Amino acid sequence: MIEQGEVYLVDFAKKYNSEFGKVRPAVILQNNFLNRSLEVSRYQSVLVVPLSTQDIQTEYKIEILPRDNLKEKSFIVANWLCTLDIKRIHLDKGVITKLNPDEFEKLKAKICDLI
């Protein structure tokens, strides 16, 4: 089962205009109640936030240093929330890393600033 705050490889498919594309790491943002329900849900979608290795000029980014299976310094792009089908998540590759509580709180704060 996926858990909130974990980072997996996710297939964002073909890039369209300014959208994120390709297979890249993403943080699971969706809460664990919904994550546990995925197997029995009609809509098996997951809310994620992509990471980029590019230092994108936005105030809605959070730097994540290399650790575990995250090989490069990356940035969580908090203003790019995506809901994708669970099949786009490369579960077979396993968890790349997990955000620590401080990082996850920063992410939540950035998202709250959006709304």
CATH number, residue 48: 2.30.30.110
Considering only CA atoms, which of 82, 73, 70, 71 is closest in space to residue 18? Answer: 82
Does 82 fall in a domain?
yes
At 23-67, the pLDDT tens digits run 999 999 999 999 998 888 888 999 999 999 998 788 999 999 999
Of residues 20 and 62, the one with the higher pLDDT is 62
Provide CB contacts within 8 A for 8, sequence distance 6+: 2, 25, 26, 28, 89, 90, 91, 93, 94, 95, 96
Domain that holds residue 70: 6-114
Does 38 fall in a domain?
yes
Q: Sorting pLDDT into bands at 50, 70 and 90, what band is 11?
A: very high
